[in-house]
Each structure stands twice: as C-alpha cells, then as structure tokens.
A = this chain, B = another copy of it.
Amino acid sequence: MNKKLFSFELLHKQESARAGVFTTPHGDILTPVFAPVGTQATVKAVTPEQLQQTGASLVLANTYHLYLRPGADLIAEHGGLHNFMQWSGPMLTDSGGFQVFSLSAIRKVDDEGVTFKSHIDGSMHRLTPELSVAVQEKLGADIIMAFDECAVPDDLEYNRRSMARTHAWLERCVTARTRADQALFGIVQGGIFPELRRESAQFVSSLDLPGVAIGGLSVGETKEQMHDILEVVDPLLPQDKPRYLMGVGSPEDLINGVMRGVDIFDCVLPTRLARHQAAFTQTGRVNLMNSINTRSFAPIDEGCQCYTCRNFTRAYLRHLIIAKEMLASTLISIHNIQFLITLMGDARQSILDGTFDTFAAAFLERYQPNHKKEHV
C-alpha cells in the first residue's frame, strides 16, 4: 500500500467511540461513516448527483453482481466503477464471498475457492481469492475486500475450519494484489464464538493491512451476540486503522457499533426500506402508506434537511405511493440515506465534542427500533 494514497488519522476517542479521517485516492472519508450500497453499480433509484447531495462519501458496489453482470472487463474498459457509474468519491467493493453464500442456491466450497451457480441464469462459476482480487482490481474501487467464507454463525467446529480457510485466503489475497492505489481490508470471522473472534482479530491485525473489517455479523445472531463480539474484537484491532462492520445496518445498530469502536458501516437497508414505503425518523421507522399520513402536511422527519423533507409533505409522498409512482422510491431513498449519513455525522461531532455518551443514550432512548410497532 502506498502510504501517500491511504492514511487513517484517529482524531478523538471517547471510550471506544472513534472520530477519524480515512484518506483515499478519491477523497477523505470522515468516520464514523455510513456507506450506501450500489449493488449493481447504482444506489437504487437515486442518481449520483442526488447521492452526493445526501452527504454520502463512501459508496459500495458488489463484486458478485458486477462479475456476473455486466462483467468486470466492461467496467475496466470504462476506466473502472467510478467512471462507469459516475461516482467521484471513495468506493468500496466487497469480495463476492458473502453473496456466493447468500444468493447462490448451489455452491461448493473447498480450500481453493468456491464453485457456485449464478442466481441470474444458472450458469456455473468459480471464485477464488485470486480471482476476487483480480475482479476487484478491474472494478477499481479505493477499498477492496479479502475473499472470505461467511459461515453460519453458531456452528463452532464449522466456524473453526472456516476461519482458518478465511485466514489462508486472506494471505492469498495479499499475495495476489498488484495495484498500489487500492487498500485491501482483511475480514475478521469466527461466528458468535469469542475465542475464534479473538484469534481472527489477532491474525488479521498482524498483517498490518490499511483497514480491518468485521464480517459474519447481522446474519441471524441476536443483537446481544453482535454487541458481545464487537466488544471482544475492539481492544484487539489496531487503533490506527479503520474498522468496518459489514452489512450493518439500522440506526440503532450504527450507534451501537460506533459505541463499540466501529468506523465504517454499509447496508442496503435505507434504499430497501424506501421501496417498501418505510422511512426513518428520530423516533423510529414510519410507513408512509399508513392512512394517518393522508392529510399530513409534515415532512417525513421534522428537522431533516434532505431534499425530500425540505420540499415534500407526507401527504404528497403517500399519494405517490398509492399512485404507484417511481418518484416515491427515489424521494424516500434520498431521505433514508441522508438520515443515516447525518446520524453518523452527528455522532462524529459528538465524539469530537466529548458528548457521544449523551448523544448515543438520547438517540437509543427516543428511537424505537421495534419494526412491528411502526410509528406514524
């Protein structure tokens, strides 16, 4: 890694919560940060211009999807993902590992790699650590991820073997990479087992990579188990490297993650919820289709400065939903993304101010995460 291209500066800590700056070739990422996901080289329903207006800095794309369609070569011919999808800020690609295990009906893992069936057309493919790195080098994101196995979290023996394989694959990824302008992050695995997580955190940290990810969480374990694992790995990870909690998540998960030393989060949740008419507010999620919004002149969230809240009433958004207008997904996506980005920006400021504990407690107190009790 070229130290001039990537660097992490830890500006302030409050207990485990951290405020920092991760410098990449496409700009600085102020942490903690929430990264929206552009699975197929687009954050669903929003343009890059709209995405930029939400305050987004880091944007994800999925190697598995792009490898299958449209293929990494086409994107490389465009000069990489930044140019293909016209995102000029920092980008991150995952390794494809998670999707191979979650999306593909048929897959066979061995120590060399994974053979799997495309969820799109049923064609057979094989991903290895070397191929994942090669594909990610073609995609050209600033941050690339090691190819790992994301095991079911609660099988101790399987997680032990799987973790060893993930570690071996990480070393192969380190060897395989050729580009100096991409930062390879290793991934801590080990399911819900503290002793495995400790071993994995120590191994991944020992490689002195520019960043460390925590994988295999938010995949079915309880919130308490997730928090416990974060608390186990936090003291073992290097202080001078960014920590990325993969696939998380909800507003309360983000705050709980920051509290436990996480710097970077990503999730499809804000855009997926938007397509189901659900929006974040300071007091919990609301479903805008709810008839109580029929004549509501309020914005989704009072005080929110997003394009949607500055311009449109809940009544208008509900009308768009009922009338099946695409604009509903766009406007709610813009709000939900900006909500999480602003939440992380506010958390960062409170860490710098030394008031994160109060900030986090107040948020967790007022935000009702119970999805069954949708607020309106």
Binding site for B on A (CB under 8 A): 40-42, 44-50, 65, 69-70, 74, 77-78, 84-86, 294-295, 297, 307, 311-313, 315-316, 318-320, 322-323, 325-327, 329-331
Shortest CB–CB separation between residue A45 and chain B, in angstroms?
A: 5
- Which has the most chain B C-beta neighbours within 10 Å: A47, A315, A330? A47
Q: Check B329–A326 contact: CB distance below 8 A.
A: yes
Copies in the complex: 2
- Would you mind naming 28 contact pairs between A and B with Cβ atoms under 8 Å apart? A40-B323, A40-B325, A42-B320, A44-B325, A44-B326, A45-B326, A45-B327, A46-B327, A47-B50, A65-B323, A69-B322, A70-B294, A70-B315, A70-B318, A70-B319, A70-B322, A74-B315, A74-B319, A77-B295, A77-B297, A78-B297, A78-B316, A84-B313, A84-B316, A85-B316, A326-B326, A326-B329, A326-B330
Known: A47-B330, A70-B322. A41 touches B316 (CB 8 A): yes
Q: Check B44–A307 contact: CB distance below 8 A.
A: no
Q: Check B295–A325 contact: CB distance below 8 A.
A: no
Q: Check A311–B45 contact: CB distance below 8 A.
A: no
Known: A86-B311, A316-B84. A331 touches B45 (CB 8 A): no
Name the CB-closest residue of B to A333: B326
Residues of B within 8 A of A313 (CB): 78, 84
Residues of B within 8 A of A316 (CB): 41, 78, 84-85
Residues of B within 8 A of A50 (CB): 47
Residues of B within 8 A of A46 (CB): 327
Q: Check B330–A69 contact: CB distance below 8 A.
A: no
**Additional 7 contacts, C-beta under 8 A, given A47-B330, A74-B319:** A44-B327, A45-B326, A48-B311, A69-B323, A70-B315, A70-B323, A78-B313
Shortest CB–CB separation between residue A317 and chain B, in angstroms?
A: 11
Known: A323-B69, A326-B44. A315 touches B78 (CB 8 A): yes
Q: Check B47–A331 contact: CB distance below 8 A.
A: yes
**A362–B367 Cα gap in the complex (Å)?**
62
**A316–B46 Cα gap in the complex (Å)?**
15
**A9–B315 Cα gap in the complex (Å)?**
39
Residues of B within 8 A of A40 (CB): 319-320, 323, 325
Residues of B within 8 A of A312 (CB): 86
Name the CB-closest residue of B to A311: B86
Shortest CB–CB separation between residue A11 and chain B, in angstroms?
A: 34
Q: Check B47–A307 contact: CB distance below 8 A.
A: yes
**A312–B307 Cα gap in the complex (Å)?**
23
Residues of B within 8 A of A86 (CB): 311-312
Q: Check B295–A74 contact: CB distance below 8 A.
A: yes
Shortest CB–CB separation between residue A40 and chain B, in angstroms?
A: 4
Shortest CB–CB separation between residue A291 and chain B, in angstroms?
A: 12
